[in-house]
């Protein structure tokens, strides 16, 4: 298996802007205001902090690196 187990889901939200109909700035603002993440506090939630840091953070590998000139990029 490649990567951590995960879901692809569709969530319908009442009164959300419609991509392609409403202005792109409104779409982005709506998403940025509601889509959040954080690493749990290592002092109060040690186990969750460990799992999030170990399994949910990107680590570059040869599969995601792209060299352009002298610069290596993670894609």
Rg (CA), the chain: 18
pTM: 0.46
Q: Where are the alpha helices (DSSP H) in the chain?
A: 24-34, 46-55
Longest pairwise C-alpha distance within the chain = 48
List pLDDT tens digits, range 10-24. Answer: 989 999 999 899 999
To 5 degrees, how large is the angle CA 10–CA 23–CA 38? 50
Q: Which two tokens stand for residue 51?
A: 């799992």
Q: Which two tokens stand for residue 57?
A: 């953070």
pLDDT value of residue 1:
56
pLDDT confidence tier of residue 72, bands split at 50, 70 and 90: confident
């Amino acid at each position: 298996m490649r990567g951590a187990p995960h879901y692809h889901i569709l969530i319908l939200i009442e009164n959300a802007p419609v991509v392609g109909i409403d202005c792109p700035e409104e779409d982005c603002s709506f998403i940025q205001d509601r889509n959040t993440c954080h690493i749990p506090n290592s002092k109060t939630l040690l186990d969750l902090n460990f799992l999030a840091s170990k399994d949910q953070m990107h680590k570059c590998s040869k599969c995601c690196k792209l060299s352009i000139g002298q610069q290596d990029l993670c894609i």
